[in-house]
Structure 1
Amino acid sequence: MSSDIPSTRRQTLFLIAGILLIATSLRVTFTGAAPLLDSIRADYGLSTAWTGMLTTLPLLAFGLFSPLAAGIARRFGMERSLFAALLLICAGIAVRSLPSATFLFVGTTIIGCGIAMGNVLLPGLIKRDFAGHVARMIGAYSLTMGGAAALGSALVVPIAMSGAGWHGALLALMAFPLIGLLVWLPQLRRHTPGTMTTSGSLHNRGIWRSALAWQVTLFLGINSLVYYVVIGWLPSILISQGYSEAQAGSLHGLLQLATAVPGLLIPIVLHKLKDQRGIAIVVAIMCAISAVGYWLLPQQAVVWTLIFGFGSGATMILGLTFIGLRAGSAHQAAALSGMAQSVGYLLAACGPPLMGKIHDASGDWHIPLIAVAVISLMMALFGGLAGRDREIAG
């Protein structure tokens, strides 16, 4: 009997390590390409619009593929489905690195499909295996995801300049999902068969009719919209306000680091709260304040970057935590995750080009920044509703 205890502990540690390593692949393989976009555009002679598609395509893939992930997991099990997600990410990285603009866009889309599966299924897996520690686990994997994204953004340019070129730098990002695959292999032995019962289908259909599910969805979805607008346009906003490209790039990296910090703090705070309404409203308002700050006091951009990074990182953690807390089962959590991330990433895909068009029409970033502030206040409203201590019926 005593020999089973260390074995069980070891299995739990391997599971946690696997979850965190999967998390490292869910942002860096996407955002890691951003510092290389100018080189890619120059090499292939792409227009600004086509280069922007390298950001938009994964978000569209997230939105369109996310609703399918829960059904795939019910049929093949979460362990195998997450393994398949990592394989898709690896395949996409390999295709994206081939010397052809067509392969660049095809590979980027494949990566988006793999990330979509991981994004949807990890909250469900955490709900199933760590039901009593949802906030802590979500915080840990959010911290890992943000840290890996910052690391990837810092490394790709030196790798490219070392002689590997941007093709080699993008290929080097495969290290993250490959390590995840190796550590995840033991989980395939404890495969839990997916159910094909009608209950899973009812979760998928019923979740779209739940007011609480829509409140969680819009809280997380607006967070995605606001985050990708700012992460996409912040360098341009800062350069238009007199910052150099180097300074704008440094603040862009600082933003990604700041989004990781709430992973350390939010889980600790959540344990002391009866519900999450207050904290959801506060961190959403932080995003609104920072947007206004970029407009009115651009010389304090470091402060606004830290505030926005913390606020958007915290809202993402809360939104993912709501998926686990508001759902009554792992399958319902996966279905809610698919709904929230589908709607959220479709919103996010529309945000950057829409704000870019508003900028082009108005000639400055004032209106887009005001729009981000107003949308963030809407996020605070839905956060107050989603943060109530209750579960989705059914």
Structure 2
Amino acid sequence: MKDQTNLRTPEFEGAREKQFFLIFGIILVAINLRMPITSVSPLLELIRLDLPMSNTLAGFLTTLPLIAFAIISPFVSKLSRRIGTEKLVFYTLIFLAAGSFVRPLGNLALLLAGTLLIGIGIAVGNVILPSIIKKEFPFRLGLLTGIYSISMNLFAAIASGLSFPLANAGLGWHGTLYLFAGFTILALLLWLPQLLKKQETPVKESVKPLHAERNVWKSKMAWQIAAVMGIQSAVFYISVAWLPVIIQDRAFLPEMAV
């Protein structure tokens, strides 16, 4: 019988190492797809005291990412075909990092601008990351999708639970948001090796199959899925944005309003 250890060639070990970095890169990107939103909700009252704003403007602050989702998401697949999935994830992280570091600078306009950049980055990441998992791990799709989902939601909960205690411990809302922004830099560093991969040849406009995209827009199933996912997202993000404020208004301690 042929010795199976001979199959562990340098090429084999190199491929495993690349997959290892890709998995950790996916986890770090997933962490940054919810944390920037859940970390700010318990700090809304502190932000409103520091940067006087109306309830309407505070609501708009938490609504901006959702507007970005609705506008940007339909164009992500087209961007992916043009520039490649790995590069698109890198640009997504650039948007997330820029927004995360601009948002706490202490100016209302920058707070809104940073939130919009974060919303754009998350909108792209929400669409492109599952497609990367499907492309790179077709035989472990369930496992990797589970890891992606758990990482995203677990760190969203951790950020929500720690943001006010960290701010109250002396970091303030500025320092707390900067602390969580550091995760975007870590994700950028871990994603850099993916840029060295051979990129897919972009599909030219003249030869790409347009009929598939048109059929999606005309598909009843696609619209039904979009409606269900849209309602689910609306319930989630409204709860994330306003539940901590509602709980604090009911005389609970801010540390409990997560």
TM-score range (shorter-chain normalised) is 0.7 to 0.9
Quote the offset at 1:85 in angstroms: 0.2
**Higher relative contact order (CA closer than 8 Å, sequence separation 6+):** 2
Match of 1:220? 229
Q: Aligned equivalents of 1:156 and 1:142: distance in 2?
A: 21
How many angstroms does 1:150 deviate by? 1.6
- The answer to whether 1:206 aligns with 2:220 is no
Q: Percent of aligned positions with the same letter in both sequences? A: 38
* Correspondence 1:208-357 to 2 at 5 A: 208-235=217-244, 244-246=251-253, 250=256, 253=258
Query: 1:64-104: CA deviations, max 9, x gaps?
Result: 11122211111110000000000101111121121211111
Aligned position for 2:3: none
Other structure's SS at 1:46 match: coil
Q: Any residues of structure 2 matched to 1:133-148 within 5 Å, and which?
A: 133-148=140-155
Query: When the two structures are superposed, what TM-score results if normalisation uses the length of structure 2?
Result: 0.88
In the alignment, which residue of structure 1 is the partner of 2:47?
40
SS at match of 2:202: coil
More deviation, 115-124/145-154 = 145-154
Distance 1:116 1:156, change over 3 A: same
1:218 Cα deviation from its structure 2 partner: 2.4
- Partner residue of 1:195 out of 203, 222, 231: 203
Q: Does structure 2 conserve the Cα–Cα contact (< 8 Å) formed by 1:235 and 1:245?
A: no
One-letter amino acid of the counterpart of residue 227, structure 1 = F
User: Which deviates further from its counterpart, 218-227 or 65-74?
Assistant: 218-227
Gaps of 5+ in 2: 1-6
The CA distance in 1 between the partners of 2:166 and 2:245, in whole Å, is 24
In structure 2, the CA distance between the partners of 1:174 and 1:101, relative to structure 1 (3 Å rule), is: same
Question: In the alignment, is the contact (CA less than 8 A) between 2:38 and 2:240 conserved in 1?
Answer: no
Displacement of 1:236 after TM fit? 6.1
One-letter amino acid matched to 2:59: G
Partner of residue 297, structure 1: none
In the alignment, what sits opposite 1:267? none
**TM-score, normalised by the number of residues in structure 1:** 0.59
Aligned residue pairs total 249
CA distance in 1, matches of 2:209, 2:84: 13
CA-CA distance at 1:131 after TM superposition = 2.0
1:128 partner amino acid: K
Amino acid at match of 1:230: S
| Local SS of the residue matching 2:208 | helix
Partners of 2:101 and 2:244 lie apart in 1 by 29
2:129 is the alignment partner of 1:119: no
What amino acid sits opposite 2:71 in the alignment? L
- Residues of 2 paired with 1:86 and 1:239: CA distance? 33
Deviation at 1:238, TM superposition (A): 5.6
**Quick check: 2:44–2:245 contact (8 Å CA) kept in 1?**
no
Change in CA separation of 1:92 and 1:133 when aligned onto 2, cut-off 3 Å: same
Structure 1: runs of 5+ lacking an equivalent: 254-394
Residue 244 of structure 1 and its aligned partner are, at CA, apart by: 4.1
Task: After superposition, give the CA deviation of every residue in 1:171-202 in whole Å (9 maximum; x if it has no partner).
Answer: 11111111111111110011333323543543
Equivalent position of 1:51 in the other structure: 58
Q: State whether residues 62 and 115 of structure 1, in contact with CA within 8 Å, keep that contact through their aligned partners in structure 2.
A: yes
117-126 or 160-169, which moves further after superposition? 160-169
Q: Supply the distance in 2 between the matched residues of 1:176 and 1:94 (Cα, whole angstroms).
A: 11
